[in-house]
Amino acid sequence: MDPRDIDIICKYADIIQIGARNMQNFRLLQEVGKTDKPIVLKRGLSATILDLLMSAEYIASEGNRKIILCERGIRTFETATRNTMDISAAPVLKQLTHLPVIIDPSHGVGKWDLVAPMSKASIAAGADGLIIEVHQSPEDALCDGPQSLKPTKFDVLMKELKKVAEAVGRSM
C-alpha cells in the first residue's frame, strides 16, 4: 500500500489497515489521516507502546480520529512462536488512551492451535476485539495458512469467547 492507492481503496474498503511494517511510514499515516475511514493501526514488530501511540498521532493530526490500535506480536529472541504476543499492551493502551484496542492472535503466535487460548487471553485482558484468520482450506493458503482456523473451529471458538467475554463483564 502506498499513498497513491488511497483513493481506490477508499472507494471499496470499509476500514483501512496499516500493516506492522508500515507503522512508521509517516507519509502514509498522514494520507489516511485525511480520509474519514476507520484506520486499524498495527503495532510494528519492534515498536514500543509509545511508538505506536506516536504513530497514531500522525493520523489524528490530519483530522481522522477513528483509530483502532492493534497488537499483533513483537519480535523477541523466542522462536517457539512466530512472534511474542504482548497481551499487556491491551490494558496498558486502555490506560493511556480512549481508543479501541484489538489483538491479532493469528499473527501473534503464528500457529493455528494456539489461536484459541490466546484469543481467550486477549478478551480476558480487556481487548475490545480480535482479528482471527480463517480459511476454508489452510493447507492450500498462499500465505499464513499455518495460523488460519477452519470455519468449524472458528465457530466453536466464537462460542467459547462469548463465555470469556461475559466472565469479564463484556458482551459479544
Q: How far is the CB of 151 from its own copies (least distance, A)?
A: 22
Q: How far is the CB of 128 from its own copies (least distance, A)?
A: 13
For helices 49-60 and 26-33, what crossing angle results, to 10°?
A: 50
Q: Which amino acid is at 98?
A: H
User: Whose Cβ is closer to its own copies: residue 80's or residue 136's?
Assistant: 80
Q: How far is the CB of 62 from its own copies (least distance, A)?
A: 14
User: Whose Cβ is closer to its own copies: residue 5's or residue 155's?
Assistant: 5
User: Whose Cβ is closer to its own copies: residue 83's or residue 140's?
Assistant: 83
User: Whose Cβ is closer to its own copies: residue 34's or residue 75's?
Assistant: 75
Q: Is 110 left (phi over 0), alpha (psi -120 to 50) or beta?
A: left
For helices 112-124 and 151-167, what crossing angle results, to 10°?
A: 20
CA distance 19 to 43: 8
Q: How far is the CB of 112 from its own copies (least distance, A)?
A: 12
CA distance 36 to 39: 9
- Total number of residues shown for the chain: 172
Q: List contacts with its own copies (CB under 8 A).
A: 1-4, 21-22, 24-28, 44-46, 48-50, 74-81, 84-92, 95, 108-109, 113-114, 117-118, 120-126, 160, 163-164, 166-168
User: Whose Cβ is closer to its own copies: residue 6's or residue 140's?
Assistant: 6
Q: How far is the CB of 65 from its own copies (least distance, A)?
A: 23
